[in-house]
Amino acid sequence: MAKHFDTQALDRYFAAMADPTRRAVLERLTQGPASVSELHAPHAMALPSFLRHLRVLEEGGLIATEKQGRVRMARIEARPVRAAEDWLAQLRRQWETRLDRLDALSEALEQTAKGDAP
Amino acid sequence: MAKHFDTQALDRYFAAMADPTRRAVLERLTQGPASVSELHAPHAMALPSFLRHLRVLEEGGLIATEKQGRVRMARIEARPVRAAEDWLAQLRRQWETRLDRLDALSEALEQTAKGDAP
């Protein structure tokens, strides 16, 4: 691909996104930073399991957490979402370019065929 | 989120994309359909391991394969790439909307402060 992508980062980003709980956390964090308990509240899941999901997100670089007093706050990181979106957009553009070329070729052939007709 | 996304499909799409070999196969297939041996050729990997990657892509719905005579041909499916891209774009738009609101609020506060100044 034309653009350079950080392969290991994309591995981590996509793996982190491949889970509904982790995607829900990312969606929640688009509304602003939240504490770990706020993030956990909507999920019918034991806290240790939930914390494992947060750890995957943090180790993957998709969120950052920070202790504020006795509360751990989390916020979303912009870069992973942009990088994953860029990779997908480039993939899509590549085959759209190819399909456009095929369209142009097929039109040119049609015109030639018409020109050749009596 | 406003738009409805197929959660289990997104799980499969992102998991399938979380591997450099599988992403390279998708990139190759944007240039047009290819046989399994053409797809395998650039990868220094035993065929059985490579076939496992193709199976993840096919079971995830990211590619389709079809036997043509003695050759198995693969092609990329458009929908998974679009769905994953849509989810990421929506995520990004949500926090951009929030940041815009914060900007507007901070500007309004600044104007008010100026108005109050002697």
- Kindly list the residues from chain B whose CB atom is less than 8 angstroms away from the CB atom of residue A10: 17-18, 20, 23
Give the minimum alpha-carbon distance from A65 to chain B in angstroms, rounded to a whole number.
17
Fold of the domain spanning A7-77: Arc Repressor Mutant, subunit A (1.10.10)
B113 touches chain A (CB under 8 A): no
Nearest CA in chain B to A25: B91
Rounded (5°) CA angle B60-B65-B69: 165
- Quick check: A101 pLDDT over 70? yes
Residue A2: what pLDDT? 53
Ranges of each domain in chain B: 7-77, 78-118
End-to-end CA distance of chain B: 46
- Using a CB–CB cutoff of 8 Å, tell me whether B84 touches chain A: yes
pLDDT, one tens digit per residue, over B38-80 is 999 999 999 999 999 999 999 999 999 999 999 999 999 999 9
Distances (CA, A) of B93 to A101, B62, B74, B96, B100: 32, 25, 34, 5, 10
Complex ipTM, two decimals? 0.87
A11, A30, A89: residue with CB nearest B91: A30
Per residue in B7-26, pLDDT (tens digit) is: 999 999 999 999 999 999 99
Cβ <8 Å between B23 and A10: yes
